[in-house]
Structure 1
Amino acid sequence: MMIHAHPGPPIRHTQRPAPAVVLRNVSRTYGDPANPVHALRDVSVDLHRQEFTAIMGPSGSGKSTLMNVIAGLDEITGGQIWLAGDPIGTLDDTARTLVRRKHIGFIFQSFNLIPTLTAEENITLPFVLSGGPITPEQRAWIAHLVGVLGLRDRLDHLPAELSGGQQQRVAIVRALASRPSIILADEPTGALDTRTAREVLALLTTAVREYGQGIAMVTHDPLAASYADRILMLADGRIVGEHRGLDPRQISEIIIGLQEARQ
């Protein structure tokens, strides 16, 4: 199966499924109450399966905090977040961890592979952590992903024996393996050369359009953001724009405008 950059239009479904993630009036405040830092201010947004969302904004705009509260890694100060229908803001740490393992896949700039585990062991690690056996259906799905991403002859290699692009492909298989409700990708192409970055972005686009995956990606890169179905712009903890169909130059102009507005 060939993977191409910018594959055809998304599959159209007659009835859109419920959002994978729902945020309503979410706020996150840090620091001294007398001099608070408002990392997020009254954020309301839905993240869907079958959609690739890029999250952009100047440094300090709240991008990382937004990802952290969606994942339940950071407490919210106000509002509510539902992950696959579960109100994660009201769950205790144990319940939140279980929901996160079931419904969220992660892809990081630094790959976050365990250096002492093989590629195959890194891929299956989330299943080991969950304590349940891998079903034949899950094994078949993993084998399919491994084949599509060209990793069949790399499964017994340690991360140090893989190129950066191969390591990120392993991380993508790991994220997709459990068919999560949403994948959170934090600068997934930041450590890659331009050609490899394009290949990874094409793979993420394929995951959305062919596998129905939902992806939310934080990025500073206008080229990376141009692969997304929609772009959310953050500034000073608020969503200040939502855009579709922009090219890298148009995205750059919006980011420059937001940065100039803060000066």
Structure 2
Amino acid sequence: MFTTPTRPNDPSVVSFRQVSKSYGTGAGAVHALAEVDVDVRRGEFTAIMGPSGSGKSTFMNVAAGLDDVTSGGVFLDGQPLHTMDDTARTMLRRRQVGFVFQSFNLVPTLTVAENIVLPFQLAGHRVSPDEQQWIDHLVHVLGLTERIGHKPAELSGGQQQRVAIARALAPRPAIIFADEPTGNLDTRSSSEVLQLMRSAATEYGQTIAMVSHDPIAASYADRVLVLADGRVVADHGRLSPQQISQLLLTAEGVPA
């Protein structure tokens, strides 16, 4: 049986300390994040929401080390992203970050099995027996056993997203960033994918940060962060879709 990896004692996987991010200069500057001070806690499923232009995509990009901050500090699994160069950030992402995208981002010429182990190959890491047992477990739990030799074009949208989730979970990263992961799925597939992500947090202790505009999707999360004008304006535990909709209306300046 595969072993559960040990995690650091730090309760936060991502920490923002007075983080600001601006694009451009002078009167035309866009302030995407403004002095954000927040932690993404280990083992939780966090939904990041907000109106269009609120800064939620910038939040994810900065948290994953895909973009530099203008000021402040960002720590990923205890490492200071804001002081690292591009090479160091890339190496940290390969070890500690998984991604799940709306468009699946699977390699069309690779099979399901090959797509799942791709992160190991990119990192130049040979899959160990324990890691292979974990991958086999994921394939079984995600219902992909009969599809393991198929290529993405031979799968439904829901199956492709399950492969993407398996690929993200396989290296057992510190955090998985999910960017509108159900945006291209039907209602049934969306529900299945969201339940799988919730199970990853509750059963395996996986930290997940999901950017979404959908109150139903966010209702699966343990925590809901709402951004507006580059600031965190609401921070709540698990909420119903109706409660989340009211929070979003308030963030947009519409009376709830």
Settle same-fold status: TM greater than 0.5. Answer: yes
Residues 176, 20 of structure 1: alpha-carbon distance in 2 compared, 3 angstrom cutoff = same
AA in 1 matched with 2:183: G
2:135 paired with 1:138: no
Residues 210, 66 of structure 1: alpha-carbon distance in 2 compared, 3 angstrom cutoff = same
Counterpart secondary structure, 2:37:
strand
AA in 1 matched with 2:143: G
Match of 1:12 in 2: none
Could you tell me which of 218, 221, 231 is aligned with 1:228?
Answer: 221
Match of 1:30 in 2: 23
The alpha carbon displacement at 1:155 in A equals 1.1
Name the TM-score, length of structure 2 as normaliser: 0.94
Measured in 2, the distance between the counterparts of 1:85 and 1:50 equals 15
Percent sequence identity over aligned pairs: 61
Match of 2:4 in 1: none
Q: Deviations over 1:81-138 (max 9, x none)?
A: 1111110111111111000111110000000001111111111111000011111111
Could you tell me which of 68, 78, 88 is aligned with 2:71?
Answer: 78
Match of 2:142 in 1: 149
- Superposed, 1:52-91 pairs within 5 Å as 52-91=45-84
Could you tell me which of 137, 160, 167 is aligned with 2:160?
Answer: 167
Could you tell me which of 119, 122, 137 is aligned with 1:126?
Answer: 119
Stretch moving more, 177-186 or 40-49: 40-49
Could you tell me which of 87, 107, 120 is aligned with 1:94?
Answer: 87
Runs of 4+ in 1 over 6 A off after TM superposition: none
What is the RMSD of the two structures over their aligned residues, measured on CA atoms? 1.4
Match of 2:211 in 1: 218
Measured in 1, the distance between the counterparts of 2:124 and 2:27 equals 45
AA in 2 matched with 1:201: L
Measured in 2, the distance between the counterparts of 1:103 and 1:178 equals 8
Match of 1:116 in 2: 109
Counterpart secondary structure, 1:101:
helix
Counterpart secondary structure, 1:132:
coil
The alpha carbon displacement at 1:17 in A equals 4.3
Match of 2:192 in 1: 199
The alpha carbon displacement at 1:261 in A equals 5.0
Match of 2:39 in 1: 46
The alpha carbon displacement at 1:16 in A equals 6.6
Match of 2:100 in 1: 107
Could you tell me which of 227, 247, 250 is aligned with 1:254?
Answer: 247
Could you tell me which of 146, 160, 170 is aligned with 1:177?
Answer: 170
Measured in 2, the distance between the counterparts of 1:108 and 1:177 equals 16
Counterpart secondary structure, 1:204:
helix
Between the two proteins, the alignment pairs up a number of residues equal to: 248
AA in 2 matched with 1:136: P
Counterpart secondary structure, 1:59:
coil
Measured in 2, the distance between the counterparts of 1:17 and 1:32 equals 36
Q: Deviations over 1:17-46 (max 9, x none)?
A: 431111111110001234311000011111
Could you tell me which of 227, 234, 237 is aligned with 2:230?
Answer: 237
8 Å CA contact 2:220–2:238 kept in 1: the answer is no
8 Å CA contact 2:20–2:32 kept in 1: the answer is yes
Measured in 2, the distance between the counterparts of 1:114 and 1:47 equals 30
Measured in 1, the distance between the counterparts of 2:236 and 2:135 equals 34
Measured in 1, the distance between the counterparts of 2:50 and 2:21 equals 17
8 Å CA contact 2:233–2:251 kept in 1: the answer is no
8 Å CA contact 1:29–1:77 kept in 2: the answer is yes
Stretch moving more, 50-59 or 30-39: 30-39
